[in-house]
Amino acid sequence: MKLTNYQLFWLLFSMESGMTIMLVLSPTFQTARQGSPLAAVLAGAAAVLATYIAAKLSLLHPNDTFVEYVPKIIGTWLGKTIVFAYLLLWIAVTGIVLREYGDFVHMALFDKTPLWIILLFMLLVIVYAVDGGIHIIGRCSEIIGPIIVFNVILFRIFSLKDLHVDRLLPIMPSEGLMPVLAGSSPAASFLSESVMIVMLIAFVGNKRKAVAAGLWGVGLAALVLLNTVMDAIMMLGSAVPAKLQYPVYSLSQYISVMEFVQNLDIFLVVGMSFTVFVKIGIYVFITSYGTAQWLHVRKWRRVLWIVAGLVLAVALFPRSVDESQTSFPRFWKDVAFPVFLLGIPLLLWIIGSFRSRMNRAAG
């Protein structure tokens, strides 16, 4: 299984763009209000930094996955414990992402269909693709990524007549910088999921350009988020998006050109389905492959169906939309983001770099 840097770029962009713009706009506007565009810029900068740290960490042991090189950096027992915590986190977030997708599709299109059917069929398609290897998801992202970019451009063209540029001012809210910083954290935590690159660089052929590919992918996703935030504030103002569960979905229904171009929400649903396919596909692969390495199982596909079953169980666990789209995102923002996406990779990079220099000096 090999990935090209081009595929890595589209993988990170595709997985970051869909769920991020769907779920973080409302909490961002609730906190940052008029400063939401600035919050989106800060979130993008934080995600790029997290991606850079994760990529540089992986390049200390470029041919090993996260599961393999963490014990080499900090010792077997502590390393395996940290890896186990990450595997549990990846299973949990995969299940919640699947549930969030199911809630949205259930609300938008199939309100008469049992939720579990939507979740099961999506998961079966993903497992079928992942069974072929990560390069299959990479090839899919080469098609899905440009489609997403096309949709973003299409929405921007059709919404031009409804944009009020004056609503962007003032850029800084009257409350100051603190609401902007607080409002940037939901988007930063979602965009920083690109830290999963710690499991992907081992499969990249040309590793010297992997850092640039990863940073460009996350950067483009951050640019799409900024564009969406600006569209929301120019079309609806800074107060209305904070009251909507899915502001982007409302924007797509708002667009009407000469009463001919309407109902663009179907493009949004299809585009989001594509991005969720890539995102969950990556998570299922890295969790299955990583678990097989952690348990010393030679054939990682034997673990795939077990991971898929756990993911489905997690997806069915929340009793309401509030639990899946409010409680877990709060945990992700307050715990997973500072600890698992920033803190631990940074600490591992510092320790690994120090040990590498010591080994070179001793040699």
Residue 290 tokens read as 């990583």
Compute the residue count for the chain.
363
Q: What is the DSSP letter of 339?
A: I
CA distance 337 to 317: 22
Predicted local distance difference test score (pLDDT) of residue 250 = 79
Predicted local distance difference test score (pLDDT) of residue 92 = 93
**Residue 331 three-state SS:** helix
Predicted local distance difference test score (pLDDT) of residue 236 = 87
Hey, what's the torsion of the CAs at 71, 197, 51, 279, to 10 degrees?
-130
Closest C-alpha among 343, 48, 46 to residue 182? 46
Hey, what's the torsion of the CAs at 63, 65, 71, 77, to 10 degrees?
-150
Q: Which residues of the chain have pLDDT under 50?
A: none
Asked whether 248 and 21 are in contact (CB, 8 A), the reply is: yes
Residue 110 tokens read as 């199939």
Predicted local distance difference test score (pLDDT) of residue 168 = 87
Predicted local distance difference test score (pLDDT) of residue 260 = 56
pLDDT digits (tens, 9 = 90+) for 74-115: 999 999 999 999 999 999 999 999 998 998 888 877 788 899
Predicted local distance difference test score (pLDDT) of residue 193 = 92
CA distance 303 to 307: 6
